[in-house]
Amino acid sequence: MAKQRVLSGMQSSGRLHLGNLVGALQNWVRLQRDYDCYYFIADWHSLTTLYTDTSLIRENVKDVLINWLAAGIDPQKCTIFIQSRVLEHAELHLLFSMITPLGWLERVPTYKEKQEEIKDRDLGTYGFLGYPVLQSADILIYRAQYVPVGIDQIPHLEITREIARRFNFLYGNIFPEPEAMLTEFPKLPGIDGRKMSKSYGNAIYLSDPPKDVEQKLLTMMTDPARVKKTDPGEPEICPVFTMHKIFSSKEEQQFCASGCRTAGIGCIECKRILIKNIFGVMEPIWEKRNELLQHPDVLSDIVEEGIKKARKAATVTMTMAREAMRI
Ligand code: TRP
Ligand code: SF4
């Protein structure tokens, strides 16, 4: 039986961090065994907010790609490509824009939220409002069944399904309605205890050298009640312990939790255990990254191959869509 199709994308608007690794990438890696996976870098989407300064886009695309491969996304098992290299996405986006009511887009919660959050740029553009329409084209052009995304993307998936239904109603049944594949994962805290995010400046990046990762973790916020080593603490309110829950063994977690509550261990000792475990996860990534950085030709072969496969799939859908619309 043919494998079901999974599709997901990531914007290219910055370096990837540990939160992206445990929240999305490791899940994508797991999916590639059982599904026909299409993973792409959404560089056009990053233009919706970064259009005034495009100087870093290409570099960021390359960095995202290196991180994907280093994290175990395998071009032998899935299709990896860049959105802007498959022009059919733009054509489908245009066709969808004809049938998408403005009200659907204005109601998307991320539309207002982002506009309020990002004050230094004008997001009152046509492209920014149309972000979910482009995302719908990304998904529907591959007629994907499942879309692994975080909970914040659910409204975009809902619009995708609405656009599919509307197109199918108007012109005939072309697009299957995709489903979100929610990955429930505890949010990784950043070194200041807030959610790890590149906009907070509290992230540990996959591209950080070991020394920086160690330094960041050594200065990471702890339970503020532990001023001195003799002050007992409460691991459940400590962001370092939240990290332990993700990266450390049950035994290590117990050791740290009871050592913390009884003031039997200091925060540095507790963090050393975490550092060892995070290094265990990052070491193979660092190795692979260095290897790839030295072989840029391998990178371009991989994307060119992926782009070819993606175009082929996209072309089939576009032929059907144009036919259905009689254009
Ligand atoms: N909006 C997604 C994000 O910010 C990125 C994205 C663009 C995407 N097109 C997509 C995700 C299609 C899934 C499917 O994370
Ligand atoms: Fe946090 Fe560990 Fe220090 Fe306890 S011992 S406050 S869990 S860093």
Contact of 86 with 46, CB cutoff 8 Å: no
- For residue 170, being part of any structural domain is answered with yes
152 and 34 within one domain: yes
Ligand 2 pocket, 223 CB below 6 A?
A: yes
CA of 45 to the centre of ligand 1 (A): 8
Ligand 2 pocket, 273 CB below 6 A?
A: no
Helix (H) / strand (E) containing 59: helix 57-71
The domain total for the chain is 2
130 and 69 within one domain: yes
249 and 221 within one domain: yes
- For residue 197, being part of any structural domain is answered with no
Q: Whose CA is nearest to atom 8 of ligand 1?
A: 9
149 and 278 within one domain: no
Q: Which of 21-30, 63-72, 183-192, 284-293 has the lowest mean pLDDT?
A: 183-192
321 and 267 within one domain: no
Structure confidence by residue, pLDDT tens digits, 39-48:
999 999 999 9
Task: Tell me what pLDDT residue 14 has.
Answer: 75
- For residue 202, being part of any structural domain is answered with no
Ligand 1 pocket, 9 CB below 6 A?
A: yes
Task: Tell me what pLDDT residue 20 has.
Answer: 93
- For residue 193, being part of any structural domain is answered with no
251 and 182 within one domain: no
Q: How confident is the model at residue 187 (pLDDT cuts 50, 70, 90)?
A: confident
215 and 78 within one domain: no
The CATH number for 32's domain is 3.40.50.620
Nearest-10 Cα torsion for 26, 31, 36, 42: -30
81 and 174 within one domain: yes
162 and 132 within one domain: yes
CA of 248 to the centre of ligand 2 (A): 14
The answer, yes or no, to whether residue 76 has pLDDT greater than 90, is yes
Ligand 1 pocket, 8 CB below 6 A?
A: yes
Ligand 2 pocket, 260 CB below 6 A?
A: yes
φ, ψ for residue 181 (rounded to 5)?
-110, 100
- For residue 199, being part of any structural domain is answered with no
CA of 194 to the centre of ligand 2 (A): 16
Segments forming the whole domain that contains residue 107: 5-188+296-325
Sort 98 into a burial class: Cβ within 10 Å, 0-12 / 13-18 / 19+.
exposed
- For residue 179, being part of any structural domain is answered with yes
Ligand 2 pocket, 38 CB below 6 A?
A: no
CA-based radius of gyration for the chain: 22
**Nearest ligand to residue 222 Cα:** 2
52 and 183 within one domain: yes
Task: Tell me what pLDDT residue 127 has.
Answer: 96
Report long-range pairs for 189-198 (Cβ below 8 Å, ≥24 apart).
189/239, 189/242, 189/243, 190/19, 190/239, 191/216, 191/217, 191/219, 191/220, 191/221, 191/239, 192/221, 193/221, 193/239, 195/19, 196/17, 196/18, 196/19, 197/19, 198/14, 198/15, 198/17
The answer, yes or no, to whether residue 91 has pLDDT greater than 80, is yes
Structure confidence by residue, pLDDT tens digits, 136-179:
999 999 999 999 998 889 999 999 999 999 999 999 999 999 99
* Cα–Cα nearest to 305, from 61, 64, 38: 38
The CATH number for 271's domain is 1.10.240.10
18 and 130 within one domain: yes
Task: Tell me what pLDDT residue 4 has.
Answer: 97
39 and 136 within one domain: yes
φ, ψ for residue 10 (rounded to 5)?
-140, 140
- For residue 195, being part of any structural domain is answered with no
